[in-house]
Structure 1
Amino acid sequence: MADVNTIRSAAGSRAAQIDVGLRAHMNKVYGQMSIGMLITALAAWAIAGLAVTADPSAAASTSEGVYALREGQYLTGLGVALFASPLKWVVMFAPLAFLFFGWGALMSRGSAAAVQVGFFIFAAVMGISMSSIFLVFTSFSIVQTFLVTAIAFASLSLYGYTTKRDLSGMGTFLMMGVIGLIVAMLLNMFIFQSGPMMMAISAIGVLIFAGLTAYYTQDIKATYVAHAAHGDQEWLDKAASDGALSLYISFLNMFQFLLMFMGQQE
């Protein structure tokens, strides 16, 4: 009986240790994600501020005059480079290229510190890519949409963390939906250029990334529980950055798609 009690006590102690470690791991994931969001917001705001001027004499000029954004606002040389030159395509697709071609290599070959720094650099580049929203939408509607997204994200992530339902099958389906969404966005951007189609894409995008938020949260939790016994802290630290990136992408995509519905243009 003593042996049985000892075994039970050891098992209970191990379970408690995993629970404590899981909470610390999730805090690390959400912490890195929050820092990434802050970096993105600051980068987008700073670049937008440098790209626009109210002084016509400080604006970039052409043979036909200055680059006017709207009445009383003009693009600077940086603004022209980012939003009115071929460089805009580089800025737009650089984050996507990093996800497809750079992140996997960094995860497999880089240290935990390098992976974390890579995530923060990605967040800064993403901020530069998203800076145009400050030129299109009002600051109030951006903040309003951000708060709505934050509430929805928190609810969905909490569901993913607490639910007993296995969401792994849903994750595969949703990832296929992301690929279809990217294809549809590219077709609409270069061929159809349809406003109603963009609204439909945005609606579907909100639903897809809402589902992915719950799926990623459960996957982060399950991954930690499955590997915690191995005690590979370096790998767990890299997994935390990977989880932060997944949730960060879900949040930003929900935010951008919701902004299409809720955002008020300047």
Structure 2
Amino acid sequence: MRTDIAQTSFFPLGSDEVAQQRLFVQTVYAWMTGGLLVTTLAAWATLSIPVIFELSLSLRWLLAIAMIGLVIYLSARIEQMAPSTAKALFLLYSVLTGKTLAVLFYAYTAESLATVFLITCGTFAATAFYGYTTKRDLSSVGSFMFMGLIGIILASLVNLFLQSSALTFATSIVAVLVFVGLTAYDMQRIKEMYATAAQNEARATNYAIIAALALYLDFVNLFLNLLRLLGRRR
């Protein structure tokens, strides 16, 4: 019996609710940070090896489709899959993102990439802190942000044909606002995920992974849109 508990227990035995919630949030951020590190290394490796860069460039649409498929699969099957599978798929997604972003990063100077990254970190941290500490229910904000996200996707699809710099600029501004809002919303939602994880410790790691994926996507998309607005091209 004790062996079973040891295998499925996520939270230390005897820990109080505050400590458990803190551990869950720390786990989420550890995986998110790990994912960003893997993405950075994958992007650096892709940029450093011409053959891999050319391959990533030629397969960029296939990579994008694979990434969308991974997010959908992870979101739909997270409660059924083994924790090891959830971890592996999250890391795979991080690698694919790095290979995809390398093509975009090539167009910008290293200085502007570093500057925008620091701005993104500050914006994300402040927004996440607000989302975690506010007493206001952000459910309505989340719904509004998801509507905005759909609008951004549609505008981006239209702009594939129009190739309008003005539409790109406007879409990027709206996208920054949307992902700032989603960061606060997702951070608050982590509290709800903790409550679910506390009732099902065998799947607590899975909940932490899907929460990390949500914040990872918020961070990456916030960074990309700030880069379009503030980045300096080569």
The normalised TM-score by structure 2 is 0.89
CA contact (8 A) 1:33 1:247 kept: yes
Match of 1:59 in 2: none
Residue 174 (structure 1) aligned to one of 139, 145, 155? 145
1:104 paired with 2:78, answer: no
Which digits, 9 at most, give the CA deviation of each residue in 1:135-160, with x for residues without a partner?
Answer: 10001111110111001101000000
> Percent identity, aligned pairs only?
34
Change (3 A) 1:245 1:41: same
Match of 1:137 in 2: 108
Which digits, 9 at most, give the CA deviation of each residue in 1:108-152, with x for residues without a partner?
Answer: 321122112211111011111111133100011111101110011
What amino acid maps onto 1:199 in structure 2? F
Q: Distance in 2 between matches of 1:176 and 1:154?
A: 24
Match of 1:257 in 2: 225
Higher strand share: 1
Unaligned runs of at least 5 residues, structure 2: 1-14
- Tell me, what secondary structure is at the counterpart of 1:131? helix
Unaligned runs of at least 5 residues, structure 1: 1-15, 52-76
Between Structure 1 and Structure 2, whose CA radius of gyration is higher? 1
1:237 paired with 2:209, answer: no
CA contact (8 A) 1:106 1:115 kept: no
Match of 1:211 in 2: 181
1:36 paired with 2:7, answer: no
What is the RMSD of the two structures over their aligned residues, measured on CA atoms? 1.5
1:158 paired with 2:158, answer: no
User: 1:227: how far off?
Assistant: 5.0
Give the count of matched residue pairs: 220
CA contact (8 A) 2:35 2:216 kept: yes
- Larger RCO (CA within 8 A; separation ≥ 6): 2
Moved more, 141-150 or 129-138: 129-138
Q: Distance in 1 between matches of 2:181 and 2:120?
A: 13
Give structure 1 regions of 4+ aligned residues with deviation exceeding 4 angstroms: none
Q: Distance in 2 between matches of 1:238 and 1:82?
A: 29
Change (3 A) 1:227 1:121: closer
Q: Distance in 2 between matches of 1:208 and 1:92?
A: 21
